[in-house]
Structures are given as structure tokens and as C-alpha cells.
Amino acid sequence: MKSIIEAENEIIEEFELFDDWMDKYNYIIELGKSLPLIDPQYKDDAHLIPGCQSQVWLHAEFNDGRLIFRADSDAIITKGIINLLIRVLSGHTPQEIADCPLDYIDKIGIKEHLSPTRSNGLLSMIQQIKGYAANALK
């Protein structure tokens, strides 16, 4: 398994391959298609992330001291965005997730290219993931 830093650097390198933001959006859409989907039983209000314009469901499973995330969304761009988070954080310990500053999000410039509502949704997704890690640390 890759470290968080390795996964972040891999994503930064992938985004550097594209010259303009339309290509980057298309790549995010492709990432959405490869999202590890949540089990349908978790597509309920209890797993819905508040603060997102589109519906985003996130489930965390604690397995062998590590958090495994699965998600889904009704919006293809949002699926790609949550996949960018899961790809980096899933499979790591709650402490690693809690300590991760997620610098790669700024380095790939995604926040500046999202609508304000999608940007708020990204922050809500991060808060939900970090919340799962914080609860696992208690």
C-alpha cells in the first residue's frame, strides 16, 4: 500500500499532465467512474454528507486498525472529487488521516476551479472523512 505522501504525489503528477482545466475536469470525471462504490445499504440519510450540493454518501469501515472508505454520488464530478480523497486516505490509520494536511488539493488547484457550492462540498467531504478518523481515535 502506498503512503499518503506517495498517493498525493501520484495525483499531483497526474494533474500536471494536463495543460488546461477542461482536460483536468475530464480526468476528474474519469476518476468518478473508477470510484470504489459504497454498498447500496449505506446509501441512506445516515451516510449522506451534509453541506454538499449533490448527494454524496460515505461509509467508513474500521478494519485491522485502518479506515476503509467507500462512497457514491449522484453527480459524476462529485464522484471524481470524493475519489481523489478516498484514493489518498482509505486504508490508512485514523491517526495518519487525522494528521494529513491534504496539501495536494491546493497543489492541483482544484478548489479555485470549483463553483462555490462544490468547493463547500469538498470541505464537507474532508470534514466527514476527518470526523470518521477522529471518532476512531476516541
Catalytic residues, by residue number, are 52
Strand (E) or helix (H) holding 13? helix 4-16
Strand (E) or helix (H) holding 7? helix 4-16
Are 102 and 88 a contacting pair, CB within 8 Å? yes
The CA distance from 28 to 22, in Å, is 10
**Residue type at position 67:** L
DSSP states of 71-131 as a string?
A: EEESSHHHHHHHHHHHHHHTTB-HHHHHH---HHHHHTTTGGGS-HHHHHHHHHHHHHHHH
